[in-house]
Chains A and B, each alone.
Chain A
Amino acid sequence: GAVVSQHPSRVICKSGTSVKIECRSLDFQATTMFWYRQFPKQSLMLMATSNEGSKATYEQGVEKDKFLINHASLTLSTLTVTSAHPEDSSFYICSAPTEGGEQFFGPGTRLTVL
C-alpha cells in the first residue's frame, strides 16, 4: 500500500510557542489530505481537510487561525499549531485518501505542551 510519513513523531514545547507538523505522501500524489486529532481513549476527530493549491476546509469548532494548514505541493501538507497551550496536547495524525476512499495514515505526532 501507499506510504505516508509524518514528522516529528514527538514534540515537547513550551506554552505560547508554535509547532509545525509535516505530512508527506512518499510514493503517490495526494491532492487531499486530512488532519485528525486524537485525545486519550477517544476516537479520531477530523480537524480539517487540506487541499493542494487552495485553502483548507476546517471542521466546526476548529480555529483556522490557530491551526494553520498549508498544502503547498502534491506530496506535502503541514499543520502549524500556533501559540500552543497545554490543552492542545494531543496525538495528531494525518491521512491521504485514494479516490476509492481508502485512507493511508501517517504514524502520528505526539504533541506535549508544557
Chain B
Amino acid sequence: GENVEQHPSTLSVQEGDSAVIKCTYSDSASNYFPWYKQELGKRPQLIIDIRSNVGEKKDQRIAVTLNKTAKHFSLHITETQPEDSAVYFCATHSGGYQKVTFGIGTKLQVIP
C-alpha cells in the first residue's frame, strides 16, 4: 500500500518568514495531492491541492510543488502569520473513490 512520509514533525518560524513542509510517497499511481490544515479539536480543512499533471500551484501565500519522478511534493507558506499556526497534513490519493493516505502531520508554530 501507499506510504507517505512527512517532515518535519514540528516547525517554528518567526512571523513573516517562510515555512516549507515536505512529503514523499511510494505509490506511483497516486495522482492527487491535497494539503490540510487542522486546528486543535477541529476537522481538517483543505488549503490547497495539486494533481499529477501539474508541477506547481499557488494560491496567495500558499504554494505546492510536485515532482512525480522523485515522488515528493512540498507545501510552501510565505509571509507567515500567527493564524497560520496549526497542524498541516499532506495526503495522497489514487483517484476515484479510493482512500486517502495521510502523512503524520507537521505542527507549525508562527512566533509573533
Contacts and interface: CB of A to CB of B under 8 A. Distances in A.
A79 to B, nearest CB: 16
Interface stretch (B11-19, B60-68, B76-84, B95-103): B95-103
Given A46-B99, A108-B42, A100 B32 contact: yes
Interface in B1-26: none
A83 to B, nearest CB: 26
Given A34-B99, A43-B89, A44-B102, A105 B41 contact: no
Interface residue SS majority, chain B: loop
B interface bracket (residues with beta carbon within 8 Å of A): 20 to 34
A32 B44 contact: no
A46 B1 CA distance: 13
A106 B95 CA distance: 21
Nearest to A97: B97
Interface string A54-74: 000000000000000000000
Interface string A78-109: 00000000000001010101011111011110
A110 B41 contact: yes
Interface residues of A, number: 23
Which has the most chain A C-beta neighbours within 10 Å: B49, B102, B107?
B102
A101 B100 contact: yes
The CB with the most chain A CB atoms within 10 A, among B34, B45, B99, B103, is that of B99
Interface of B: 32, 34, 41-46, 49, 89, 93, 95-105, 107
- A-B pairs with the 5 shortest C-beta distances? A101-B93, A101-B32, A105-B43, A32-B97, A43-B104
